[in-house]
């Protein structure tokens, strides 16, 4: 499962100022949709309405055919995992940060999620491994390492829908490439919405929509859009 569908969605943080104007798209289960466009176009707003951080003013948002306005917050949160640009980690151990929100998770499950996020190796190089505190003096995790912890936390939840909200844009370019490889792997079998600044980072997407001032102005595959440039 995991099909995501926006039908004629209209939304404004302030009802007098509409931000998303009649936005419609479908991401079939297991496929990847990339949302690109300039800063302020409304990309993150799409992600926030999917989470129901805000309720839309018109249209419908459906996951597997179910209107998200009619499902509980708990099941919506179980269905969607987000890897944001800058996940706030707790000043606690790496293991706690990965397992956060999943009090029932065993050490083996946490390690499995860490392997899938390609962080097992680097964690094992830390003194005390998973027991190392994230914020410890002299052991501060790099941006890329923090992002891997955030990815592992999301993978532990194993959500059918994944939202990558500019998940690599705060990283230097080498780390960005590394993390993108991890994300490409984990998005392969999940429905994935990727919010990105640049077209060059979403070459593999099954569909790309270009958003400008809250409207979809172009859509297609990477090769179509590059030719149109
Ligand atoms: P993008 O992700 O494409 O950079 P956003 O979705 O963050 O764009 O923002 C789209 C528009 O919504 C912008 O005009 C922005 O100023 C406005 N906006 C974003 N967040 C809020 C908010 N919490 N309250 C009011 N306006 C907001
Ligand atoms: P859960 O415990 O099910 O992960 P939360 O309420 O903790 O639910 O978080 C809801 C979603 O928001 C989760 O997918 C989580 O990964 C994401 N999230 C957590 N922290 C942040 C953050 N600082 N910024 C953006 N998204 C976040």
Per-residue pLDDT of 42-55, as tens digits, reads 999 999 999 999 99
**pLDDT of 24:** 98
pLDDT (average), residues 5-33: 96
Confidence of residue 34 (pLDDT cuts 50, 70, 90): very high
Percent of the chain with pLDDT over 70: 97
Percent of the chain with pLDDT over 90: 48
pLDDT (average), residues 202-207: 88
Long-range CB contacts for residues 113-116, cutoff 8 Å, separation at least 24: 113/152, 113/153, 113/155, 113/156, 114/152, 116/152, 116/155, 116/185, 116/186
Q: What's the half-sphere exposure (Cβ side, CA atoms, 13 Å) at 182?
A: 28
pLDDT in tens, 162-181: 999 887 877 888 888 888 88
**Which comes out higher in pLDDT, residue 200 or 212?**
212
Check pocket membership of 81 for ligand 2, CB cut-off 6 A.
yes
Lowest mean pLDDT segment, chosen from 58-62, 131-135, 203-207:
131-135
DSSP class of residue 129 equals G
- pTM assigned to the model: 0.83
pLDDT in tens, 113-167: 888 888 888 788 888 888 888 876 555 778 888 888 888 998 888 899 999 988 7
* Helix and strand counts by DSSP (H, E) for the chain: 8, 10
Confidence of residue 39 (pLDDT cuts 50, 70, 90): very high
Q: What's the half-sphere exposure (Cβ side, CA atoms, 13 Å) at 202?
A: 32
- For a substitution probing ligand 2, which of 47, 49, 82, 170 has the most ligand atoms within 8 Å of its CB? 82
Q: Which residue has the tokens 């958003």?
A: 211
Instruction: Return the closest-CA partner of residue 160 out of 44, 29, 53, 58.
Output: 29
Q: Per the structure block, which two tokens stand in for 36?
A: 């690109």
- Among 75-84, 147-156, 211-220, the range with the most confident prediction by mean pLDDT is 211-220
Atom of ligand 2 nearest to the CA of 163: 14
**pLDDT of 147:** 85
Number of C-beta neighbours around residue 25 at 10 A: 17
pLDDT at 6 over 80: yes
Instruction: Return the closest-CA partner of residue 164 out of 34, 6, 71, 28.
Output: 34
The ipTM value here is 0.69
Calculate how far, in angstroms, residue 27's C-alpha sits from the geometric centre of ligand 1: 23
Check pocket membership of 42 for ligand 1, CB cut-off 6 A.
yes
């Amino acid at each position: 499962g995991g099909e995501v569908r926006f039908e004629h969605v209209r939304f404004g943080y302030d009802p007098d100022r509409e931000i998303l104007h009649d936005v419609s798209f479908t991401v079939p289960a297991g496929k990847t949709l990339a949302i690109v466009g300039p800063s302020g176009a409304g990309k993150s707003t799409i992600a926030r309405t999917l989470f129901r951080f805000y309720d839309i003013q018109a249209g419908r948002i459906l996951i597997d055919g179910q209107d998200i306005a009619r499902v509980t917050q708990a099941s919506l949160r179980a269905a969607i995992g987000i890897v944001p640009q800058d996940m706030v980690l707790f000043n606690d151990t790496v293991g706690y940060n990965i397992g956060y929100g999943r009090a029932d998770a065993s050490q083996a499950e946490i390690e499995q999620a860490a392997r899938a996020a390609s962080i097992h190796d680097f964690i094992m190089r830390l003194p005390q491994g998973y027991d190392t505190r994230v914020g410890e003096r002299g052991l501060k995790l790099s941006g890329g390492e923090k992002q891997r912890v955030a990815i592992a936390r999301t993978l532990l939840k194993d959500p059918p829908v994944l939202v990558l909200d500019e998940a690599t844009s705060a990283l230097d370019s080498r780390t960005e490439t590394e993390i993108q490889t991890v994300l490409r792997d984990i998005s392969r079998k999940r429905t994935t919405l990727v919010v990105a600044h640049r077209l060059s980072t979403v070459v593999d997407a099954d569909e790309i929509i270009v958003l400008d001032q809250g409207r979809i102005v172009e859509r297609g595959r990477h090769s179509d859009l590059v030719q149109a440039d």
